[in-house]
Amino acid sequence: MKRIKKYYYNTTTHRFEKLIVPLRTKLLRVLGFLSSSLVTALIIVAIAFRFLDSPKEKRMRGDMQTMYEKYGLLQKEINDLNKNITELEDRDNNVYRSIFESAPLPDSVRHGKNYSKIDPAKFAYLSSDDLAEQVTGQLEDLRGRVQIQSKSYDTLQHLVQTKEQMLASIPAIQPISNKDLSHMASGFGYRIDPIYKTPKMHTGLDFAAALGTPIYATADGTIVSTSYDDGGYGNHVVINHGYGYGTLYGHMIKIKVHPGEKVKRGQVIGWVGSTGKSTGPHCHYEVIRNGQKIDPIHYFFNDLSATDYERMIRMAGSTNQSFD
């Protein structure tokens, strides 16, 4: 293609002369074009990197999302495991070791020197290696707690073997047959007095039942007294189980045992009545430990499942009117 020649009108010579562009101007034009092209290219690349992912970035983003989801599941699993172990530790300290009068294990033994808890926000900006190290540390802590809890149960098993008599002497069943929990009438604590209609401390549990329903000793022991109290328990029985435990069964229609008699857990000691200060047939049941009347609701562990125990707790906790 033939190159086009450019001319311009020279006002001095009054002639059309050939336009000659200096080399310096040409170079500046080339540099300007290259600079604008480079800037434009950089802008395009920046926009592409900002809003468009490369195939490699797409794969990496997908991998990160998968890792985040897996970490979320792992986090939930660790939290659930931590909750279950904590419940076992609480029961071990507050129930099992209490029964055997054994000192609870301190947290310093269960956790060692690490008292930290899993915190998802704590790992939000960690590298994968740091994240794995943190989670591994938490799992190691849980494994250690499981091992210590296992050793604790081994100790309790030894106590069971050596304290069978003590276990048999601890109140552990309901005083009447109550598998469906339908006979629970009133719980331990302040309740409305059925006679005076005022709040009054109710020191036991009331089990409503038909007249003549058998009443059972809730643990092995010796009958301390079988007496009648017209303004209170009516016909009632008191049993000494030893190890600081005692029980009382009130408002019987008839008593079967006599003072000094040895009884076994589950043995019939009398029948449900409404004698004494009572508004209907029921068994008033008390647990005494070291001279103090305590809530019997926690001493049915031989015949209640965990679900039944929670249900009975709710029933006994309702603020209603007692039967005596």
Q: Which of 20, 36, 51 is the last residue of a domain?
A: 51
| Within a domain: 272 | yes
Residue 169 maps to a domain: no
**40 and 106: one domain?**
no
**Does a structural domain hold residue 323?**
no
Query: Do 120 and 233 reside in the same domain of the chain?
Result: no
* Residue 208 contacts residue 323 (beta carbons within 8 Å): yes
Task: Verify that 227 and 274 share a domain, yes or no.
Answer: yes
pTM: 0.50
- Which pLDDT value is given to residue 272? 94
Strand pairing class (199-202; 268-272):
unpaired
**Same structural domain for residues 140 and 193?**
no
Same structural domain for residues 123 and 207?
no
Residue 174 belongs to a domain: no
Last residue in a domain, options 131, 162, 193: 162
Tokens 């030894």 map to which residue?
158
- Cβ atoms of residues 235 and 253 within 8 Å: yes
**Structural domain span for residue 285:** 184-317
- Taking only the tens of pLDDT, the chain with its 324 residues reads 566 777 667 777 777 777 777 778 778 878 888 888 888 888 887 777 776 666 777 777 777 777 777 777 777 777 777 777 777 776 666 656 555 556 666 665 556 554 444 455 554 555 666 666 777 777 777 777 777 776 776 776 666 666 778 888 999 999 999 888 888 878 787 777 666 666 777 888 889 899 999 999 999 999 999 999 887 899 999 999 998 999 999 999 999 999 999 999 999 999 999 998 888 899 999 999 999 999 898 888 777 777 777 787 777 766 665 656
* 253 and 270 inside one domain: yes
The tokens for 162 are 């050596």
Q: Please report, for the domain that includes residue 234, its CATH number.
A: 2.70.70.10
Evaluate whether residue 322 is within a structural domain.
no
Residues 97 and 156 in one domain: yes
Residues 34 and 117 in one domain: no
pLDDT of residue 310: 79
Residue 116: predicted pLDDT: 44
| Amino acid 196: pLDDT | 62
Determine, yes or no, domain membership for 167: no
- Shared domain check, 200 and 122: no
In a domain, 31, yes or no: yes
Structural contact between residues 275 and 241, judged by C-beta atoms closer than 8 angstroms: no
Give the count of beta carbons closer than 10 Å to the beta carbon of residue 293: 15
Question: Are 40 and 65 in the same domain?
Answer: no
Q: Are residues 245 and 137 in the same domain?
A: no
The pLDDT value recorded for residue 93 is 63
Q: How far is the C-alpha of 211 from the C-alpha of 214, rounded, in Å?
A: 9
Residue 2 lies in a domain: no
One domain for residues 16 and 69: no
State residue 91's pLDDT score: 65
- What is the domain count for the chain? 3
pLDDT for 249: 97
3-state SS string for the chain: CCCCCCEEEECCCCEEEECCCCHHHHHHHHHHHHHHHHHHHHHHHHHHHHHCCCHHHHHHHHHHHHHHHHHHHHHHHHHHHHHHHHHHHHHHHHHHHHHCCCCCCCHHHHHCCCCCCCCHHHHCCCCHHHHHHHHHHHHHHHHHHHHHHHHHHHHHHHHHHHCHHHHHCCCCCCCCCCCCCCCEEECCEEEECCCCCCEEEECCEEEECCCCCEEECCCCEEEEEEEEECCCCEEEEEEEEECCEEEEEEEEEEECCCCCCEECCCCEEEEEECCCCCCCCEEEEEEEECCEEECHHHCCCCCCCHHHHHHHHHHHHCCCECCC
